[in-house]
Amino acid sequence: MKRLFSGARPIWIFLVILFALPVLPHPLHVPEYWITLLNYIGLYSIVALGLVLLTGVGGMTSFGQAAFVGVGAYATAYLTTQFGVSPWIALVVGIVMTAFVALVIGAVTMRLSGHFLPLGTIAWGLSLYYLFGNLDALGKYDGINGIPALSVVGLSLASGRSIYYLIWVVVLVSVVSIQNLLNSRPGRAIRALRGAGVMAEAMGVHTAWMRVIIFVYAAILAAISGFLYAHLQGAVNPTPFGLNHGIEYLFMAVVGGVAHVWGAILGAAILTILQDYLQSLLPRLLGESGNFEIIVFGVLMVALLQYARQGVWPFVARWFPRGPRARAPEHAEALPRQTKPAPGEPLLVVDRARKEFGGLVAVNDVSFEVEAGQIIALIGPNGAGKSTTFNLVTGVLQATRGEIHFRGERIDALSSREIAKRGIGRTFQHVKLLPTMTVLENVAIGAHLRGSSGVWRSLARLNAQEEGRLLFEAAEQIRRVGLEQHMYDEAGSLPLGQQRILEIARALCCDPTLLLLDEPAAGLRYREKQQLGELLRRLKGEGMSILLVEHDMDFVMNLADRLVVMEFGTRIAHGLPEDVQNDPAVVEAYLGGVE
């Protein structure tokens, strides 16, 4: 059963069936009823696809998509009936209006976290709904009638069978555009939004802006669906744009599988057909009329969250061959590199940096320097303040006092994104990678700042050349650290030691002048530690400057040029490893303390 369709490219079978359906001859003739249903499935799929991007991939739950469908529908209804404007111009106006509204709403609500975001989406969903219902110009709750049918190059799309083609072409274009986006520079950043935002920022991704952008794109897809809906129906009123429809769209995305592009269509199909069936069945069973199907949907939702969080699509996907993943080209033009400082030049200067957490002084006026071409190790027992110092340098925390300079520029007030731009690449004490993405894709996130294609270019696949260069660079760095046999494995399947090496490759992909490693040897076995040591020595040999935080003194002994030892937030010793090792204060800290 597995890989049932692998020989025959299921996508082509799907497309042929899809486009033949309305015109099949007599014995197979599809009744009008099914064409109508398929039209609605298509319309809902377009909205649900936006939710896959926004909620499934980006991790932001929205109950308010129906309101954007309304903006698209009302824009064309109003302009075509009141002013006789061509529907295609009305479409453009609708999209521009939606983009503007979404930009404003998105800039406010996308900053909200946790449950405040869904609450915010409910608020805007309600307000737009009441706006449609209360504006005289929009016909209040009666809405607008007499919306003309669409026509394309002289062909009328008045019948359900003809607009069917337009609707499904839009569905397919939406699928392809989202697939394009997800396999691109901004797409990888978007996939990191859910759960790995700190990592993405450290690689130079403007996460807040990325959130707003995918919010706008999801809203535009909803508005296009609304436009098609208005011309299919010939009339609009506020009801289909209310909050309960917003919840239904979310249902569709979740049922299909909120992180799967094709799942959106599956979910829209399942819910539309089920709703249609239940709407006639339930009143007959119960002997009363009413929207009982909502109750069934509620139960379905609870069951799904209990037993199949990923939705239905993963079960279906098992029978299909796995889609192609990003592959690195054999050759590509190398990306430009920053000029590197001469060996011995002062690179990082930490000058009396201080960090207080309330009454606790986590970093107590600590000073040290890193010169180009050196490996400096910041060591000390647990709780000494090493990670806090590291976070001050990388911009994750702001120093209470003191200065930090990098290549002569003061950086202690900059965000981690700005610091990444200046040439500091970092890894994390607790590995932060995207487990279901390949090693190549994970490493390519590190090259984010070295590309420039944005969301709109990527949707249209105008980024192919740059994409090749970025992936080629990622592959080069993977080879540099010796992970090439795992290039196309899922990152989550690697043992911890190799995941740490992956993070180093990702940091190298930033083209860093200084590499910052937070406890790279933690949790590694003896052999893995040795390999890591060899890698760091080799990188140093290639001219890389490294600052590493470590509590394992033995690991850094034969590796670092100089040590900086901290205890209780204070620097207690610094200098050559052999001198520091015998320093009485250090011996006391390591033997008398936790170690």
Q: Which residues bind Mg ion (CB under 5 A)?
A: 387
Task: Name the minimum Å distance from CB 389 to Mg ion.
Answer: 9
Q: Is 551 left (phi over 0), alpha (psi -120 to 50) or beta?
A: alpha
Task: Name the minimum Å distance from CB 544 to ligand ADP.
Answer: 23
Contact of residue 380 among ligand ADP, Mg ion, none (CB under 5-8 Å per partner type): ligand ADP
Contact of residue 37 among ligand ADP, Mg ion, none (CB under 5-8 Å per partner type): none
Nearer to ligand ADP by Cβ, of 263 and 520: the residue is 520
Task: Name the minimum Å distance from CB 389 to ligand ADP.
Answer: 7
In 3-136, where does DSSP find H-type helix?
10-20, 32-51, 65-83, 87-109, 116-134
End-to-end, the C-alpha distance of the chain in Å comes to: 56
Task: Name the minimum Å distance from CB 592 to ligand ADP.
Answer: 17
C-alpha distances in Å from residue 108, one per residue of 116, 219, 351: 11, 15, 38
Nearer to ligand ADP by Cβ, of 7 and 358: the residue is 358
Nearer to ligand ADP by Cβ, of 354 and 461: the residue is 354
Task: Name the minimum Å distance from CB 515 to ligand ADP.
Answer: 18
Task: Name the minimum Å distance from CB 566 to ligand ADP.
Answer: 7
Contact of residue 362 among ligand ADP, Mg ion, none (CB under 5-8 Å per partner type): ligand ADP
What is the contact surface with ligand ADP in residues (CB under 6 A)?
A: 357, 360, 362, 380, 382-388
- Which residue's Cβ lies closest to Mg ion? 387
Nearer to Mg ion by Cβ, of 89 and 594: the residue is 594
Q: Which two tokens stand for residue 577?
A: 């490893």
Scored b (16 or more CB within 10 A) or e, 48-81 reads: bbbbbbbbbbbbbbbbbbbbbbbbbbbbbbbbbb
CA dihedral 248, 250, 254, 260 (to 10 degrees): 130
CA distance 45 to 169: 12
Nearer to Mg ion by Cβ, of 386 and 457: the residue is 386
Beta 155-156 vs 375-379: how paired, if at all? unpaired
3 state SS of 535 = helix
Nearer to ligand ADP by Cβ, of 181 and 566: the residue is 566
Task: Name the minimum Å distance from CB 569 to ligand ADP.
Answer: 7
Nearer to ligand ADP by Cβ, of 88 and 357: the residue is 357
Task: Name the minimum Å distance from CB 377 to ligand ADP.
Answer: 13
Nearer to ligand ADP by Cβ, of 382 and 452: the residue is 382
Contact of residue 384 among ligand ADP, Mg ion, none (CB under 5-8 Å per partner type): ligand ADP
Nearer to Mg ion by Cβ, of 387 and 477: the residue is 387
Say which residues have a Cβ less than 8 Å from residue 203's Cβ, sequence separation at least 6. Answer: 189, 420, 445, 446, 448, 449, 506, 510
Contact of residue 382 among ligand ADP, Mg ion, none (CB under 5-8 Å per partner type): ligand ADP
Nearer to ligand ADP by Cβ, of 320 and 568: the residue is 568
C-alpha distances in Å from residue 513, one per residue of 122, 198, 439: 46, 21, 23
Residue 577 neighbours by CB distance under 10 Å: 17
Helix (H) or strand (E) holding 371: strand 360-371
C-alpha distances in Å from residue 235, one per residue of 144, 230, 231, 232: 6, 6, 7, 8
CA distance 250 to 255: 9
Contact of residue 383 among Mg ion, ligand ADP, none (CB under 5-8 Å per partner type): ligand ADP
Task: Name the minimum Å distance from CB 393 to ligand ADP.
Answer: 12
Contact of residue 33 among ligand ADP, Mg ion, none (CB under 5-8 Å per partner type): none
3 state SS of 3 = coil
Helix (H) or strand (E) holding 425: strand 424-426
Task: Name the minimum Å distance from CB 533 to ligand ADP.
Answer: 21
